[in-house]
A and B are shown apart, each in its own frame.
Chain A
Amino acid sequence: MKLAAQGLAFGYRDRRIGSHVTLTLDAGEVLCLLGPNGSGKTTLFKTLLGLLPPQQGAVLIDGRDVRTLPRDAVARQVSYVPQAHGAFFPYTVREVVLMGRTAHLGLFAAPSARDHAAAMTAIRRLGLAHLADAVYTQISGGERQLVLIARALAQDARMVIMDEPTANLDFGNQVRVLERIRALADEGIGVLLSTHDPDHAFLCADRVAMLHQGELVACGAAAEVMTAAQLQRIYGVAVAVTAVTVGGAGTRHVCLPLSAF
């Protein structure tokens, strides 16, 4: 199972946002996409999901062009966690997660007992059982983000693309979501996520890709790509990357800004 972008140029209609993007996501790995605001991360994700047509190049799922696949076939292979958002109608958390089962349902079918069970399993895996009957529009932004991740799990796809899954979360939930992402990869699922925090890439990523002004400027193992010079180049601020040894937790890398505070 492999998701691949080949020489991809992407954008909206007459506006080009990025180009020359070639990358692959394999089952069982976490690929973390770093890039400053406006570098084109969300647009790239939408193109990879087949929601936007590529301006050049192609997106391949197991060698098949995503444009030739019907929507439900794509959804069974790749799920999407958008940035947490409002909803228009007061569905319960359980109903929102059940919507993740749609690609597995016949056109005229409603969710079966099995789909309900799959949704509840996903809800429990994210520790949301107490919110199952809460109304999605009335829970906090962080809780909504977790619900959307549960929905992607219920979708039961081999690949998950997450757009800033930690953006709305408190410190504890950020760590819990990163742990969950790592666990998903260990279960054989390929995860592509974007984040604004280089430390998150250090914590959970096998590989890191950096998007700068619409082009991939680096892609490789986290320790190789995430150098101070490289981070400084894409974010435009001076940083230091240091190894920290914590008793019992081994050695970790962290990224520190060097501005004169």
Chain B
Amino acid sequence: MAHPKLEVSWLRKSFPGLDVIGGISAAVQKGEFISIVGPSGCGKTTFLRIVAGLEQASGGEVRLDGRVVREPGADRGFVFQSDNLLPWRTIYDNARIGQEIAGRSGAAERQRTMDMLKLVGLEGFEHYYPRQLSGGMRQRVNLARALAVDPEVLLMDEPFSALDAQTREIMQTELLRIWERGRKTVLFVTHQIDEAVLLSDRVWVFARRPGRLQEVIDIPIPRPRDLSAKRTPDFVALVDRIWRLIEHDVRDSVLHENT
């Protein structure tokens, strides 16, 4: 097997009196699309934030192309749950902020920003301000901004959870299309099991208390995929299998949050 793109070993995260992540080891190959699902409180978002360098691990390490990751960098692109666009910047200037921070401002970078905006379907909106765009369009800019730095790994934290159901399905197919074009390595956190199955090569199922990798499920559905895959028996069986893995934890977390 090839050297993994991303390698996580014995990753732990704890706050006083609370173990959020209790030792996770896993590897991601170049070009793999991995989704992370699990009940709330399983540490999936914290895990992603540690990989991004936005939070420090309490133990263990994350390696990207063999180098230990300790802080944020342009080799990872983070797509946030809310679009987090800078309201005073135009769409174009928002999309290129990662390159700007890295001090890259050549013609090639400008072209890449334009290409990414085009890829997410926002050609012609370069000079608009974020407030002039719909939620779905702003989330596209969020994605283009992360892609514009041409990251080794794309980290996506429930990027579609704030969108309505129809927009979300459209964004899922858009993401499939975009991913087919570049085959980036992706870590995608979601609480929607069907979203995870539709998008991923493999689904990591997390369990809670403390957060840990319970099982890795391969998704052998042929690509390229579209929304019709959701109606196939294989798809339904996979969703069902993953749901049964986390069902107990989810019920448990719901009960705990209600008492």
Asked whether A and B interact, the reply is: no
Q: Which residues of A does B touch, CB under 8 Å? A: none
Q: Which residues of B does A touch, CB under 8 Å? A: none
